[in-house]
């Protein structure tokens, strides 16, 4: 996340300079960058494939984004976190005021998370 903020600051400063302006930026708040966890991704992928079949499984997204949940892993390094996504026919877009999605996806997502937890405990390891 530090790298992303630095790039934004550099781009804004250069854009200002190119237009004869001085840019001053102050970062107020920030979130923690998502750090993929291969073990957690494999457990969730296994659960997704079991519930939705191999056709329901997509490659993990590559994102420079973050999520509040990753503060747990940052503050307690023994906690593993990763980002997962679930297709839900989302329209017109995430966080849009008219956002709508297929509510059945919530049940599928809950089943995937529950099965992932069972698999993690059955494997007897948390890393």
E strand or H helix that includes residue 44: helix 38-52
Q: Is the dihedral of CA 80, 32, 41, 44 positive or negative?
A: positive
CB 35 within 8 A of CB 73: yes
Q: Is the dihedral of CA 7, 73, 119, 115 positive or negative?
A: negative
User: Can you read off the two tokens belonging to residue 90?
Assistant: 């989302």
Kindly report, residue by residue over 78-122, the tens digit of the pLDDT: 888 788 888 899 999 888 999 999 999 999 999 999 999 999 999
Q: pTM to 2 decimals?
A: 0.71
Least confident of 10-14, 44-48, 72-76: 72-76
pLDDT > 90 in the chain, percent: 53
């Amino acid at each position: 996340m530090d790298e992303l903020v630095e790039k934004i600051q550099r781009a804004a400063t250069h854009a200002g300079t190119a237009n004869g302006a001085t840019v001053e930026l102050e970062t107020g708040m920030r979130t923690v960058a998502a750090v993929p966890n291969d073990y957690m991704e494999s457990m969730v992928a296994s659960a997704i494939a079991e519930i939705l079949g191999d056709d329901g499984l997509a490659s993990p997204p590559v994102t420079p984004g973050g999520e509040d949940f990753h503060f747990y892993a940052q503050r307690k390094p023994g906690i593993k976190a990763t980002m997962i996504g679930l297709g839900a026919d989302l329209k017109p877009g995430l966080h849009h005021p008219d956002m709508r999605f297929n509510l059945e996806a919530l049940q599928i997502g809950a089943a995937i998370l529950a099965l992932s937890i069972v698999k993690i405990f059955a494997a007897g390891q948390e890393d």
